[in-house]
Amino acid sequence: MPEGHTLHRLARDLNGLFGGEIIRATSPQARFAEGAALLDGRVLAKADAYGKHLFVTFDADRHLHVHLGLYGTFVLDAGEPSVPRGQVRLRIEGERGYADLRGATTCEVLTRVERVGVVARLGPDPLRRGADASRAYERISASRTTIAALLMRQDVIAGVGNVYRAELLFRHGVDPFLPGRELPSATWYDLWKDLRALMRHGVRTGRIDTTRTAHTPRAMGRPPRQDRHGGDVYVYRRAGDPCYVCGTAVATAVLEARNLFWCPTCQRSRATAAE
DNA sequence: GGCTTATGCGCAG
DNA sequence: TGCGCCTAAGCCA
């Protein structure tokens, strides 16, 4: 379930399970045999996430770069390693447990310089300390592209995926088709602040819950628990179902090859009401 | 058992 | 804009 929170949680867990240890690295699937050999027997110094990218630093300037893509998983387990089940791209084994990587779209070993190059292409990540929201707003406020599309661009803002995109815009009553240049500055900083809270909650719980966190706008009330897709949401994948706030059928459309969900009533261009 | 879908993204054209 | 990657889960039969 890889949006940014998943990768940050993963980094945290990898540090907890392997941090500072010499690890064994193998590629049971054999698709990553050369890469695994580069990491085998090395010290796993630190895991870190930038947006949806995970980096695991080993000694000797070796940096594992993982991107889970749409259906990759990296599952950690304490205790004795089991016989690898399914297609395991990379297995890491330590003193206290092991981890299996499957289905990742990217799994490669980089140098520090190469890693810096990957990070340099990303926009600010709300989950990283010191992330600069204004850097994203510079791009957004200069663009004719819709805010819904801009939120998904990792070079504008790193870590947002289809669920957070839909939920964030709903929570703030922002029309997803509003051009970035028409999004008021104040609205953007509200979105950023809320997004950071939502994603931090996601890191803590491992789920995307957008209906019951502390920052839920009061007027929206508390919809029933659904837990349909690993979290409780207002509009994501609820096409045709009644909006929890106003009862209007949740709308859906394909935008830049991704499914977009929104409430046509709650998300009129309220953001431009200031004009 | 098969088919569809997916919280992503790079690439060809 | 559409395809392919490559995996698992959900749905149907």
What is the reported pLDDT for A215?
67
Mean pLDDT of chain A: 92
Facing residues of A90 across strands?
A101
CA of A254 to C1' of C1 (A): 12
- What's the rounded mean pLDDT across residues A54-71? 95
- What's the rounded mean pLDDT across residues A202-226? 80
Task: Give the residue with greater pLDDT, A205 vs A227.
Answer: A205
pLDDT at A123 > cutoff 70: yes
Nearest nt to the A228 alpha carbon by C1':
C10
pLDDT at A269 > cutoff 90: no
pLDDT at A272 > cutoff 50: no
d(CA A246, CA A96): 50
Task: Give the residue with greater pLDDT, A125 vs A212.
Answer: A125
pLDDT at A270 > cutoff 70: no
pLDDT at A40 > cutoff 80: yes
Judge whether A184 and A274 are in contact, CB under 8 Å: yes
Relative to beta strand A21-22, strand A43-50 is: antiparallel
Nearest nt to the A256 alpha carbon by C1':
C1
Nucleotides of B under 7 A from a protein CB: 6-10
**What radius of gyration do chain A's Cα atoms show?**
20
Helix axes A185-205, A4-18, angle to 10 degrees: 40
CA of A111 to C1' of B3 (A): 42
Select from A119, A89, A107, A95 the least CA-distant residue to A43.
Answer: A95
A47: tokens are 């895991």
Judge whether A258 and A162 are in contact, CB under 8 Å: yes
User: Which domains, ranges and CATH numbers included, belong to chain A?
Assistant: 4-120 (3.20.190.10), 133-274 (1.10.8.50)
pLDDT at A274 > cutoff 50: no
- What's the rounded mean pLDDT across residues A251-266? 94
Question: What distances in angstroms separate CA A258 from CA A149, A158, A166, A254, A265, one per listed residue?
Answer: 9, 17, 11, 5, 21
